[in-house]
């Protein structure tokens, strides 16, 4: 028999939620002998231990039908409740869901009770821990899959739980054939330990489920700044039980505003996963309209969004969940002054492929952003070390916030011939124009990630420290221009007159003659500058930023290839927390 896996996790609440979600997706191990030493972590998850004689779940498929709630057996293992130690750790269970619905008839992907213990960093190691789930309160209408729970008690002989916690385990369930919809009961998750107090928890299990989904609004590419867009969101219930109300959450990018403020909506901000760590505006609307199975509902008043004059690449995120029965009456009222938002029946629920639990509505405005690039000029002697600063300013009219694309704003900085970069900003990496081999050591180029949001009036400043060679020409220049991080043109900037500038070094008593010339100095034309805010990215040596040594610490790639640099990697990792398809130069909803 295989032993249960042991996993450690961070004790922070955020990590608890993420790891528990991961635990719900893993496989299921079998019984362990509690007297044997515990093993290292396995890869396939943790299931309750089964008896050596292979006992199956007590409740067979043809067993007793659901009893009334008042007559249903309640969790009976009172003798196993943990006793508080005089001094020692305190362990508290976390479960992925406190309420679980069982589809009827059963589906191929069974629901789960998934648990974990974050540990007690201040209390030390909890010893001789045996985790248990008492399923006697649900066994009359529920089959426990896998190794089973002899005597209606599932057990995990965990052993010791260190202060960094234990990832946990799970059981999978399905409703017994013939179990009546709406039948409900409670499972208790608890544990015993020789030195720790364990705070148990319960999970409510119900035959049938509410499955609320929303419509997929198609992308719009013609939003006019200053206009108002209506979002005809619909809600459907593809489950088997009625939702007694719904909670509709709507988050937006910053350049969209809520046109109405309904009286039953709370308006504030939120840290949406899709916001890549940025706080975004949000409305939480609690709607008391019952939503019946198999039916679709439209909003009583279409939710409108004001398209600001600064809008460009925008979006609206929305999802709906059943309104919790435990929400107090005071919390169901909002801070809006408009009418109450309700749901109105709108026919049968459409096919499931046109619905989703969460949706991002892409809203592209008919707008532009004029990015003004400026360079710098210095006079130096051979052997001098000088600083030149490249700048980029957003002259509007649109703000640029590229949450929904990988084509982030970047500056390509070519180092003037006869000089060498000895210190570059942290967000800059070596760029090789043809995408192969090493950059020319006499004239390297750097791609500097500006990123977003980049609002109107903001200025990003990138200082480069250059060493002037002894044989530098009398005048030498390097082009500074903007492009995407993939080397593509920024099509939303339609004013080409100020898209590039130069680093110019005038060398006194130069040994060489001539130098690079040509091109426009840039920095002129376009819209009038707005009130500015300035961001200067701190310096860092090229050796440390590139992971190598000297000014040529890292090689970039061509104008049509991706750059494997840390900033882009972080951006991509953030995007992977939500279900969003991202393509170079394009914006698509998930």
**pLDDT (tens digit, 9 = 90+) per residue, 500-532?**
999 999 999 876 555 554 333 333 333 333 333
| Cβ density class 156-169: b for 16+ within 10 Å, e for less | bbbbbbebbbbbbb
- Closest among 299, 307, 272, 111 to 214, alpha carbons compared: 299
Query: Average pLDDT in the 443-455 region?
Result: 88
The single-letter DSSP state of residue 329 is G
Q: Cα angle at 587 between 582 and 590, to 5 degrees? A: 60
Q: Quick one: 313 and 390 in the same domain?
A: no
DSSP structure string for 17-39: HHHHHHHTTS-------TTSPP-
**Can you read off the two tokens belonging to residue 327?**
């929400």
Stronger pLDDT, 386 or 122, i.e. the higher one: 386
Domain boundary residue, one of 365, 388, 416: 365
Query: What is d(CA 218, CA 195) in angstroms, rounded to the nearest whole number?
Result: 58
The rounded Cα 9 to chain-centroid distance in angstroms is: 19
Q: How confident is the model at residue 52 (pLDDT cuts 50, 70, 90)?
A: very low
Q: How many domains does the chain have?
A: 3
pLDDT band at 232 (very low <50, low <70, confident <90, very high): very high
Assess contact for 208 and 101: CB atoms under 8 A. Answer: yes
What tens digit of pLDDT does each residue of 155-182 get? 999 999 999 889 899 999 999 999 999 9
Cis before 104 (ω within 30): no
One domain for residues 361 and 496: no
- Per-residue pLDDT, 530: 35
pLDDT of amino acid 548: 33
Judgement on whether residues 376 and 509 belong to the same structural domain of the protein: yes
> Can you tell me the distance from the alpha carbon of 158 to that of 154, in angstroms, rounded to the nearest whole number?
13
**pTM of the predicted model as reported, rounded to 2 decimal places:** 0.66
Whether 422 is in a domain gets the answer yes
Q: Are residues 409 and 433 in the same domain?
A: yes
Cα 533-536-539 angle, rounded to 5 deg: 175
Please tell me whether residues 487 and 468 are part of one structural domain. yes
CA distance 458 to 462: 13
Same domain, 374 and 335: no
Regarding whether 390 and 334 lie in a shared domain, the answer is no
* Residue 476 CB-half CA count within 13 A: 27
Q: Where are the alpha helices (DSSP H) in 307-389?
A: none
Domain boundary (157, 192, 207) is at 207
Would you call 575 helix, strand, or coil by DSSP? helix
Between CA 166 and CA 45 the distance in angstroms is 12
2 in any annotated domain: no
Say if 572 falls within a structural domain. Answer: yes
Those residues with Cβ within 8 angstroms of residue 79's Cβ, 6 or more apart along the chain or in another chain: none
Whether the per-residue pLDDT at 584 is higher than 90: the answer is no
CA distance 193 to 80: 10
Give the domain CATH number at 438.
2.60.40.150
User: Quick one: pLDDT band at residue 553, thresholds 50, 70, 90?
Assistant: very low
Residue 254 predicted with pLDDT over 60: yes
| Domain of 389, in residue numbers | 369-586
pLDDT over 80 at 102, yes or no? yes
Give dist(CA 469, CA 476) in Å, integer.
Answer: 11
**DSSP E strand boundaries for 415-474:** 419-425, 428-431, 445-449, 458-468
**Is pLDDT of 154 > 50?**
yes
- Rg of the chain (C-alpha set): 31
Lowest mean pLDDT among 72-81, 145-154, 448-457: 72-81
For residue 572, give the DSSP letter.
H
CATH code for the domain in which residue 155 is found: 2.60.40.10
For position 487, what pLDDT does the model report?
Answer: 84
1 falls within a domain: no
Does one domain contain both 198 and 226?
no
- Residue 559's closest CA among 475, 507, 481, 493? 481
**Domain boundary residue, one of 365, 389, 415:** 365
Mean pLDDT of the chain: 75
SS3 label, residue 330: helix
CATH of the domain at 238: 2.60.40
Core vs surface per residue 294-305: b (16+ CB within 10 A) or e = ebbbbbeeebeb
Given a contact cutoff of 8 angstroms between Cβ atoms, the answer to whether 158 and 166 are in contact is yes
Q: Residue 403 has what pLDDT?
A: 83
User: Is residue 545 within a helix (H) or strand (E), and if so which, with residue range?
Assistant: helix 542-546
Q: What is the Cα–Cα distance from 405 to 561, expressed in whole angstroms?
A: 15
Higher pLDDT, 532 or 47: 47
Residue 145 located in a structural domain: yes
Local confidence band at 48 (pLDDT 50, 70, 90 cut-offs): low
Q: What pLDDT does residue 234 have?
A: 96
* CA–CA separation, 48 and 116 (whole Å): 13
State the average pLDDT over residues 28-41: 35
- Which of the residue ranges 13-27, 100-114, 408-422, 463-477 would you say has the lowest mean pLDDT? 13-27
| Pair 486, 447 in one domain | yes
47 shares its domain with 150 = yes
Q: Are residues 180 and 36 in the same domain?
A: yes
Whether 40 shows a pLDDT value over 80: the answer reads: no
Q: Are 185 and 208 in contact (CB under 8 A)?
A: no
Report if residue 6 sits inside a domain.
no
DSSP per residue, 246-314: EEEEEEE-TTEEES---TTEEEEEE--GGGTT--EEEEEEEE---B-TTEEEEESS-EEEEE-TT-SEE
Least confident among 169-173, 364-368, 505-509, 576-580: 576-580
On whether residue 446 sits in a domain, the answer given is yes
pLDDT at 121: 86
Is residue 258 assigned to a domain? yes
Do 86 and 176 belong to one domain?
Answer: yes
The answer, yes or no, to whether residue 404 has pLDDT greater than 90, is no
- Segment 382-393 shows an average pLDDT of 97
């Amino acid at each position: 028999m295989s032993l249960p896996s042991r996993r450690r996790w961070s004790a922070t609440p955020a990590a608890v939620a993420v790891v528990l979600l991961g635990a719900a997706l893993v496989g299921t191990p079998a019984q362990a002998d509690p007297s044997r030493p515990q093993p290292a972590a396995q890869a396939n998850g943790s299931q309750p231990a089964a008896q050596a004689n292979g006992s199956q779940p007590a409740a067979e498929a043809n067993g007793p039908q659901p009893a009334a709630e008042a007559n249903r057996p309640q969790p009976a293992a009172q003798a196993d409740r943990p006793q508080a130690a005089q001094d020692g750790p305190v362990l508290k269970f976390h479960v992925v869901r406190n309420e679980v619905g069982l589809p009827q008839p059963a589906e191929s992907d069974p629901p789960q009770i998934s648990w974990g213990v974050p540990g007690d960093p201040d209390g030390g190691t909890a010893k001789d821990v045996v985790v248990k789930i008492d399923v006697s309160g649900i066994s009359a209408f529920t089959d426990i899959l896998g190794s089973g729970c002899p005597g209606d008690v599932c057990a995990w002989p965990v052993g010791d739980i260190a202060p960094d916690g234990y990832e946990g385990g799970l059981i999978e369930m399905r409703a017994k054939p013939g179990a009546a919809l709406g039948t409900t009961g409670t499972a208790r998750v608890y544990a015993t330990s020789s030195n720790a107090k364990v705070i148990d928890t319960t999970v409510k299990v119900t035959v049938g489920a509410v499955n609320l989904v929303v419509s997929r609004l198609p992308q719009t590419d013609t939003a006019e700044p200053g206009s108002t867009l209506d979002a005809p969101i619909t809600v459907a219930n593809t489950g088997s039980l009625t939702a007694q109300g719904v909670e509709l959450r709507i988050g937006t990018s910053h350049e969209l505003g809520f046109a109405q403020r309904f009286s039953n909506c709370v308006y504030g901000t939120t840290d949406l996963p899709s916001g890549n760590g940025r706080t975004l505006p949000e409305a939480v609307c609690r709607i008391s309209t019952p939503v019946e199975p198999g039916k679709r509902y439209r909003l009583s008043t279409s939710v409108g969004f004001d398209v600001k004059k600064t809008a460009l690449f925008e979006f609206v995120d929305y999802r709906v969940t059943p309104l919790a029965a435990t929400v107090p009456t005071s919390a169901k009222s909002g801070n809006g002054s408009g009418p109450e938002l309700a749901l109105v029946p709108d026919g049968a629920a459409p096919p499931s492929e046109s619905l989703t639990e969460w949706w991002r509505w892409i809203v592209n405005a008919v707008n532009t952003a004029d990015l003004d690039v400026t360079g710098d000029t210095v006079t130096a002697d051979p052997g001098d070390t000088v600083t030149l600063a490249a700048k980029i300013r957003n002259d509007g009219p649109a703000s640029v916030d590229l949450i929904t694309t990988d084509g982030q704003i970047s500056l390509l900085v070519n180092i003037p011939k006869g000089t060498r970069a000895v210190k570059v900003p942290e967000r800059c990496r070596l760029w090789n124009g043809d995408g192969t081999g090493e950059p020319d050591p006499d004239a390297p180029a750097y791609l500097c990630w500006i990123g977003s949001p980049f609002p109107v009036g903001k200025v990003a400043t990138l200082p480069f420290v250059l060493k002037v060679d002894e044989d530098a020409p009398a005048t030498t220049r390097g082009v500074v221009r903007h492009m995407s991080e993939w080397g593509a043109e920024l099509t939303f900037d339609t004013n080409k007159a100020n898209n590039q500038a130069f680093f110019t070094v005038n060398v006194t008593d130069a040994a060489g003659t001539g130098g690079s010339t040509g091109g426009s100095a840039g920095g002129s034309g376009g819209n009038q500058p707005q009130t500015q805010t300035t961001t200067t990215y701190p310096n860092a040596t090229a050796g440390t930023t590139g992971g190598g040594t000297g000014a040529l610490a890292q090689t970039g790639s061509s104008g049509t290839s991706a750059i494997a640099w840390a900033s882009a990697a972080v951006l991509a990792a953030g995007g992977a927390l939500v279900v969003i398809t991202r393509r170079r130069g394009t914006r698509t909803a998930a």
